Amino acid sequence: MKFSRLRLSGFKSFVEPTELHIEPGLTGVVGPNGCGKSNLLEALRWVMGESSYKSMRASGMDDVIFSGTSTRPARNMAEVVVTMDNTDRSGPPSTAESDAVEISRRIEREAGSAYRVNGKDVRARDVQLLFADASTGARSPSLVRQGQIGEIINAKPQSRRRILEEAAGITGLHTRRHEAELKLNAAETNLTRLEDVVGQLDSQLQSLKRQARQAVRYKQLSADIRRFEAAGLYIAWKDAVEGLNGEKAQFDEVTRLLAGFTRAVSEKTRLHDEINERLPQLRDQDAA
């Protein structure tokens, strides 16, 4: 996978859209001081995911946007697009199906950067990993800035090791290992939280079981109470019916006796009236 084209717009001194074709055999870019040669290298490093504004010779990342001159107004946006030839399929596995890979980075003032790979929005980390898998990157030793040769000569063993790792193409593995460790730690944290949640749910389950047993017991007691109350009401009703039947029998007996007394009184009254009717006649007979 090789660089084939670099397109800049509003990046540092490149206020107008500028396109550089990187043809086979290109060995260098020459020009007078201040024409933007270093800016081309910085544009490459920037689009490859450089996150340090100091390494871009700036006091802030927004400083890579054209700041204007006495004759040209400042821009509010800068964009760098690099196109890579992948016809030999030597790129990372994520680019295996593409003949060309286009990576762009766009920045707006006070709004941050946005990355795209073949037109799809991606994270800065995705771009950095893509180049790391291709054994290059924003801080690859193949991109030598001003003064870097002296820094390499005087570098500490750790820095030299990083340079060798980048040259060997294993920097991406370290990054992926770090991400895997972060994911593993996050998974362990989630597992611990899950165990806590399971413990809480188990406590709630035990409480719910106790409540369920109490509810069943309450239901049974309520059913027993209703059954006993119904039995008590039935007994009371039965006693009342039996008492009523007894009272009715007594009432019927009294009514029968009263009817007999009434007939006897009527009979005696009739006899009395009959005697009273015959009494004058009997007296007249006695007198004669």
The structural domains of the chain, ordered by start, are: 2-138 (3.40.50.300)
pLDDT beneath 50, residues of the chain: none
pLDDT, position 161: 77
Per-residue model confidence (pLDDT) at position 278 = 81
What is residue 141's predicted lDDT score, i.e. its pLDDT?
64
DSSP for residue 198: H
At 239 the three-state DSSP class reads helix
Asked if residues 121 and 114 have their Cβ atoms less than 8 Å apart, the reply is: yes
| Integer Cα distance of 41 and 82 in angstroms | 12
Q: Would strands 112-117 and 120-122 be described as parallel, antiparallel, or unpaired?
A: antiparallel
Residue 95 confidence (pLDDT):
77
For helices 124-133 and 171-287, the axis angle rounded to 10 degrees is 140
Question: What pLDDT was estimated at residue 78?
Answer: 94
Q: What is the pLDDT of residue 147?
A: 63
Q: Are 75 and 15 in contact (CB under 8 A)?
A: yes
Helix (H) or strand (E) holding 270: helix 171-287
Task: Check residue 96 and give its pLDDT.
Answer: 76
Burial of 153 from C-beta contacts in 10 A (0-12 / 13-18 / 19+): exposed
At residue 151, the pLDDT reads 66
Distance CA 105, CA 7 (A): 11
